[in-house]
Amino acid sequence: MQNKSLTNVGNPDDPQGCLVLMKKYLEWMLIRNYSVHTVDTRRLYLGFFIRWAEDRGIVQPCEVTKQVIQRYQRFIYHYRKRNGDPLSVRSQHGRLIPIRAWFKWLARENYILFNPASEIELPKLEYRLPKHVLTSGEAEQVIAQANLKTSLGVRDRAILETLYSTGIRRRELTNLHVYDLDPDRGTIVVRQGKGRKDRMIPIGERALAWISKYQDEVRPTLVVGHNSEDVLFLSHLGQQIDPDALTLLVRRYVEHSEIGKKGSCHLFRHTMATLMHDNGADIRFIQAMLGHSKLTTTEIYTQVSIKKLKEIHTATHPARLKPQTPPKKRNSKPKPADDNKESGTVE
CATH code for the domain in which residue 236 is found: 1.10.443.10
**Torsions phi, psi for 319 (to 5 deg):** -85, 75
C-alpha R_g of the chain = 31
Cα 191 to chain centroid distance, Å, stands at 18
Q: Which residues are catalytic?
A: 169, 194, 266, 269, 292, 301
Rounded CA separation 42/98 (Å) = 6
Residue range of the domain that includes 229: 136-307
The pLDDT score that the predictor gives to residue 306 is 67
Specify the DSSP class assigned to residue 343.
P
Q: Are residues 272 and 153 in the same domain?
A: yes
Residues 220 and 237: beta-carbon distance below 8 Å: no
The pLDDT score that the predictor gives to residue 342 is 41
Residues 291 and 276: beta-carbon distance below 8 Å: no
Distances (CA, A) of 150 to 178, 305, 321, 326: 22, 36, 52, 60
Q: Are residues 190 and 292 in the same domain?
A: yes
Q: What is the CATH number of the domain that holds 34?
A: 1.10.150.130
Q: Is residue 322 part of a domain?
A: no
- With 0-12 / 13-18 / 19 or more C-beta atoms within 10 angstroms meaning exposed / middle / buried, residue 100 is middle
DSSP line for 90-101: HHHHHHHHHHHH
H or E segment to which residue 27 belongs: helix 18-31
**Which residue positions in the chain have pLDDT lower than 50?**
1-5, 337, 339-347
* 3 state SS of 281: coil
Q: Is residue 261 part of a domain?
A: yes
The pLDDT score that the predictor gives to residue 6 is 55
Q: Is residue 123 part of a domain?
A: no
Q: Is residue 1 part of a domain?
A: no
Q: Are residues 282 and 221 in the same domain?
A: yes
Of 57, 89, 108, the one marking the end of a domain is 108
* 3 state SS of 285: helix
Tens of pLDDT, residue by residue over 184-232, are 999 999 987 777 788 999 999 999 999 999 999 999 999 876 656 699 9
Rounded CA separation 175/345 (Å) = 101
Q: Is residue 342 part of a domain?
A: no
Give the amino acid at 319. Answer: A
Q: Is residue 343 part of a domain?
A: no
Residues 88 and 42: beta-carbon distance below 8 Å: no
Q: Are residues 96 and 143 in the same domain?
A: no
Q: Are residues 154 and 267 in the same domain?
A: yes
Q: Is residue 160 part of a domain?
A: yes
Residues 170 and 251: beta-carbon distance below 8 Å: no
Tens of pLDDT, residue by residue over 294-328, are 887 777 776 666 667 777 778 888 887 665 555 56
Q: Are residues 142 and 258 in the same domain?
A: yes
Q: Are residues 156 and 71 in the same domain?
A: no
Q: Are residues 99 and 141 in the same domain?
A: no
Q: Are residues 233 and 99 in the same domain?
A: no
The pLDDT score that the predictor gives to residue 322 is 62
Q: Are residues 149 and 276 in the same domain?
A: yes
Strand partners, 201: 188
Residues 234 and 177: beta-carbon distance below 8 Å: no
The tally of domains found in the chain comes to 2
Q: Are residues 96 and 151 in the same domain?
A: no
Give the amino acid at 226. Answer: H
- Cβ atoms < 10 Å from Cβ of 321: 5
Which residue, among 156, 339, 123, 332, has the nearest Cα to 253 in the 3D structure?
156
- With 0-12 / 13-18 / 19 or more C-beta atoms within 10 angstroms meaning exposed / middle / buried, residue 102 is buried
Which residue, among 114, 92, 93, 111, has the nearest Cα to 28 in the 3D structure?
111
Q: Is residue 345 part of a domain?
A: no
Q: Are residues 222 and 295 in the same domain?
A: yes
Distances (CA, A) of 339 to 336, 343, 346: 9, 9, 19
Residues 263 and 248: beta-carbon distance below 8 Å: no
